[in-house]
Chain A
């Protein structure tokens, strides 16, 4: 199974400041045949189900603000919030879909400092 490791576990950021969440996979999720990274990011607000933010590591889902960006390749990925807003307080998860079983990172909690 591919193990996904996120860091940090939690992050406190001032409003308007940037935040970066890291996600590392135990093996590469880059498929050489199509040069795509099989990595997705989700946001989960309290009491709600997760919401898809990115797929293919950096393709933004429709409706996601452009202050969010996804980057990385192979085994190392990042989710960046360029200017934190109050509504961005949430848990963030990465997920690999390169192979089954589909696996998630442990999550990163983003709070306001």
Chain B
């Protein structure tokens, strides 16, 4: 049973460029959330997707956008990259069913983005 998979694992981009990060949730999970973790900080919530729609959004500018596909996989897009966007981008998958025992949020290993 594959866990949460993310790609690419590492990438370097130039200021002003655009980047797309990808995530496949754990088998059986239908909800994907994205987090940004800057060096020395805790992860910060970017947004969450369920049923192919953005359901919640954190305090991130519109340069950050996403998508969820019918197979529950998701993409995170960042436009007009800034140096400050350099961070570890984490994908978290979960099952949107309340009251179920054993449901846990699982994180992928992340995508390390460096903007130069």
Q: Do A and B come from one complex?
A: no
